[in-house]
Copies of this chain bind each other. A is one copy, B any other.
Amino acid sequence: MTRRPDSDEARTRIVAAAVRCLARHGVRGLRMADIGREAGVSSGLLYYHFANRDGLLAATLAHVNDTAAAGRARAAGDGRDALIDNLVDEISDDPEVRDHAAAWHEINASAVFDSALAAHLRATTADWQRRIADGLMQTAGKTAPPNRQAADAQAAIATALVDGLSQRWLTGRLSTDEARALLRRALIRQFGGDAAGSTPCN
């Protein structure tokens, strides 16, 4: 706790500011000067901590990615209903949730043209899906024989649904309530009772 200005702390503040800017203006609207202002730091310091705009962007995206993973990890609750609630809560009026969703979508969009980013994203998504598939396996026993492959497929579909609907929501094509209701409905049907994975359709 020395008084000396702490390099790490500033770096962290910069990345946090960049996340906020990213959520508000997108990758294309991300200005170094804005980030500096938002972080309460000079523009020069950005270059002290990061090689250039791309470097800062990469760090920012990595941070969002990590935050996503962490947030999903802490989400608790047993059973299929809790699982669905967690997923539905990825869409919410909470500004923090919205910012996070916007940033996440920016990463997704950028990853189409950035293979390094795509690799990170692959890992995070795999993690997220694994967590859901695990949840499904634990609850499946009650209604159907556990089937890992089916659970994986359902998890993949579920996360894609979350992303697809949350994009509709972020672009104002669906209200928060509509998006949540549709997502819940879709998830219930996907995870739903009909002897789950026992029907391998392919």
Chain A interface (Cβ < 8 Å from any Cβ of B) = 24-29, 102, 105-106, 108-113, 115, 118, 121-122, 125-126, 153, 156-157, 159-165, 167-168, 170-174, 181-182, 184-186, 188-190, 192-194, 196, 199-202
Contact = CB atoms under 8 A, between A and B. Distances in A.
Contacts of A27: 28
Copies of this chain, how many? 2
A171 B108 contact: yes
Contacts of A113: 24-26, 28-29
23 contacts: A26-B110, A26-B113, A28-B110, A106-B112, A108-B171, A121-B173, A125-B173, A153-B185, A156-B168, A159-B164, A160-B161, A161-B186, A162-B164, A163-B164, A163-B167, A164-B164, A164-B167, A184-B201, A188-B201, A190-B190, A194-B194, A201-B201, A201-B202
Interface class of chain A by DSSP: helix
Contacts of A161: 157, 160-161, 164, 186
Contacts of A193: 194
Which one of A24, A109, A126, A156 has the highest number of Cβ atoms from chain B below 10 Å of its Cβ?
A109
